[in-house]
Structure 1
Amino acid sequence: MTSKGKTRRMMWAGLSGAALALALTVPAHGTSGGTAPVGAYGAGWQLTETGTDARFRGLDAVDRTTAWAAGSKGTVLRTTDGGRSWRNVSPPGAGELELRDVEAFDARRAVVLAIGEGEASRVLRTDDGGATWTESFRNTDPRAFYDCMTFFDRRHGLAMSDPVDGKYRILSTRDGGRSWAVLPDAGMPAALPGEAGFAASGQCLVSSGPRDVWLATGGGAGARVLHSRDRGLNWTVAESAIPAGDPARGVFGLAFRDRTHGIAVGGDYRAGQASPHAAAVTGDGGRHWSAASAPPPAYRSGVAWLPYSLPHSLDGMGGAPNAALAVGPTGTDLTTDGGRTWRTVDTGSYDTVDCTRDGACWASGEKGRIARLGRG
């Protein structure tokens, strides 16, 4: 691996359409440290007190009351009261780890991924709300660099590494992250020269349903999306319609509403660099991707479909299956047509976003920022 590749990876390594568009408008203090109610309904990101300056690129919202966040300096936070308070449940001695992904099953059970070359890539699991942690995987191959993970259910999950011997490496668990094994790579297409994943939001590997999983790439001549229908054994590959051609460009985040409808976001993560085609959509499970006709105006690292229903605090807005949010360091964007067109609705800095089926949306990012979508 070149030093340029190392730098790139370590740095970044419901709602009715009309009502939501009216409710979410750019706040006057989108980057402030407090609550920022916006729009006619007062709906917007509400920052919560986390008591840390860690950067949270890993986020998993379990339900309206429970969410987990994983970030820099080995930091793991958990809330069980809807964000009114956060408990620091970081693994002991993990201060040197860069945690970039968390997959939570409930308020007590969660798995976190640390990224980096060689033994810096690790997986840890807790079964008691973070009171104790067990290291279930430590990478011993200096050529591997793990970026993201996903779970199909409480038992079956995958983690992905940047290419080793010219192919992405896939790690599999069948017991909820208690043990892991590298899958054979016979069904994995060859990686492009310089191609890799981005450990920017925990969304470079995502799943939908019991067997489908997608892997996002960048850095090579093209930004691609790989798809497996059998939990990572065999893969097909498609061009994403998001430009690459540089180690800093590509697809950074994916979200699938079901097995067919997906959104990809990305661009160029470097500050001040243009990202004119930062989003793409698919309606056939990732076989073909189309560039958004009105994409977000800048690089975006995280994306999530909005729930069909939202909490009572956002009453007045009904369900819409085509609404989603994309986030990045310069703002949050909304689509109400399945990702074809986007408009900026907030200017605060976030790296990742997640929504729950029972109607809660969360976002997290730099300087300890964790926010919940709600009424001011």
Structure 2
Amino acid sequence: MDRREPLAPHRGLPYAILAIFLSAAAFSPTVHGAAHVADDLQRIASNGRAIVAVGNDVLSRSTDSGKTWEAQKLEKRAALIDVAACADESFVALDFHRQVWTGEAQGTGWRLAEGSMPEDFTPMALACAPDGGFWVVGTYSTVLHSSDRGASWQKTEFGEDAILTTIRFLDADHAVLAGEFGIVARSSDGGASWQMLPPVPDNFYAFDAWFTDTDTGWLTGRGGIILGTRDGGHTWTPESNAAGVPMYGLLSGGHGHLFAVGELGLVQQRGSDGTWRVLPSPTSGSGYLRGGIALPGRSSLIVVGGSGASTPAMVSIEPQGGQ
């Protein structure tokens, strides 16, 4: 059954995801000491030495825990939609134009990888596996893998007319991906093969996934839905979303703390009782948030987004009320 519709705007796909390549906004470089990087940022990653934030023609780094940001020059324009830190501390950024950029441990020295992805493929999300392999998911339920830093790509297809929106590696062997129409798949051999799990009911459209171990994980999706699993994704249980709006990204703050960022610039924290509460944030009430990182040794997050939410922004995550 052909369920395909036009990609932009796609079925429930948040405009926040599409904005970076639909926008005609010009590159807005950042000077040293500026807290504001760009109007629209999509993702952020840290290797413990440097932090990198990406967006439409924007790639900026910070080496002082987000206090100051420095724009990085690229050899050509790029619509960057995701970024990841690898085990060797290098970075990789995903370009909507079916390519990846690689950067050094200090968030500098960015180069465009030689290889291109298939022309009939639209990338949506990126992961850097513990072995250094690059993994990209996107349209036509396609998974791409590069073991040579983007010089060439190998394709796996699930045969579904669906968009895969997120991929995460738990460790060197275990990975999970998810997408629209309730698709969730797992790998226990480092991505060499994938097991399709029972579809999440009601044509669930996943925005992001996060697993703390092979059994315990969460999905965020359309309509502000947050689901949790305790059996590795075979069944899912709804959790209360205090904000009642879509949450586009999940991130760990360490010590078992889980956070979600999303529409209206909101940040939520999951309590030990399974409930979510909205945290005070300078971005609350404006735009959207797409990603974030926790700062090691500090009770704060750095979150990124756009459409009126001035980011990167610092959010306190001091424990409250038994969280």
TM-score, normalised on structure 1?
A: 0.68
Q: 1:296 to 1:237 in 2, by over 3 A?
A: farther
Check whether the contact 2:36–2:311 (CA below 8 A) recurs between aligned residues.
Answer: no
Query: Is the alpha carbon distance of 1:197 and 1:140 closer, same or farther for their aligned partners in structure 2, counting shifts above 3 Å?
Result: closer
Q: 1:356 to 1:156 in 2, by over 3 A?
A: farther
Matched AA of 2:95: A
CA displacement at 1:211 relative to structure 2: 1.8
Counterparts of 1:279-294 in structure 2 under 5 Å? 279-293=226-240
Query: Which residue is equivalent to 2:38?
Result: 53
Matched, 1:214 2:216: no
Match of 1:66 among 47, 50, 55: 50
- Aligned pair partner of 2:276 in 342, 348, 354: 342
Q: CA, structure 1 residues 357+256, in 2 after alignment: closer, same or farther (shift >3 Å)?
A: farther
User: What is the rounded CA distance, in whole Å, between the counterparts of 1:279 and 1:10 in structure 2?
Assistant: 16
2:44–2:53 CA contact under 8 A, matched in 1: yes
- 1:354 deviates by 2.5
Given the superposition, is the C-alpha separation of residues 304 and 252 from structure 1 closer, same or farther in structure 2, using an over 3 Å criterion? same
Report the counterpart of residue 159 of structure 2 in structure 1. 190
Residue in 2 aligned with 1:169?
142
CA positional deviation for 1:57: 1.2
Question: Of the candidates 48, 52, 58, which is equivalent to residue 75 of structure 1?
Answer: 58
Q: Give the alignment's Cα RMSD to 1 decimal.
A: 3.0
Distance 1:109 1:140, change over 3 A: closer
Of 350-359 and 253-262, the range deviating more from structure 2: 350-359
Aligned equivalents of 2:129, 2:178: Cα separation in 1: 17
Separation in 2, partners of 1:369, 1:189? 36
Kept after mapping to 2: 8 A contact 1:103/1:111: yes
Q: Deviations 1:86-108 (Å, cap 9, x if unpaired)?
A: 010141322xx221111124897
Equivalent runs, 1:234-249 vs 2, <5 Å = 234-239=193-198, 241=200, 243-244=202-203
Give 1:361's aligned residue.
Answer: 301
CA contact (8 A) 1:58 1:101 kept: yes
- After the TM superposition, which of the residue ranges 359-368 and 103-112 deviates more from structure 2? 103-112
Counterpart of 2:81 (choices 96, 100, 111) is 100
Which range moves more in the overlay, 351-360 or 147-156? 351-360
Q: Number of aligned residue pairs: give it.
A: 290
Q: What is the alpha-carbon distance in structure 1 between the residues aligned to residue 129 and residue 119 of structure 2? A: 28
For 1:132 and 1:71, the matched residues in 2 are separated by 17
Work out the CA distance in 2 between the residues paired with 1:182 and 1:81. 37
Identity of aligned residues (%): 16
Higher RCO (CA < 8 A, seq sep 6+): 1
Unaligned runs of 5+ in 2: 19-32, 319-323
**Cα distance, 1:265 vs structure 2:** 0.8
Alpha carbons 1:254, 1:264 under 8 Å: kept: yes
**1:265 matched to which residue of 2?**
220
User: Which of residues 119, 122, 139 in structure 2 aligns to 1:142?
Assistant: 119
TM-score normalised by the chain length of structure 2:
0.78
Of 6, 9, 15 in structure 2, the residue corresponding to residue 7 of structure 1 is 9
Offset at 1:157?
Answer: 3.0
> Is 2:259 the partner of 1:332?
no
Task: Using the TM superposition, give the Cα deviation of residue 345 of structure 1 relative to its aligned residue in structure 2, in angstroms.
Answer: 2.2
SS in 1 for 2:196: strand
Query: In 1, distance between residues paired with 2:208 and 2:250?
Result: 6
Gaps of 5+ in 1: 14-47, 199-203, 268-274, 309-320
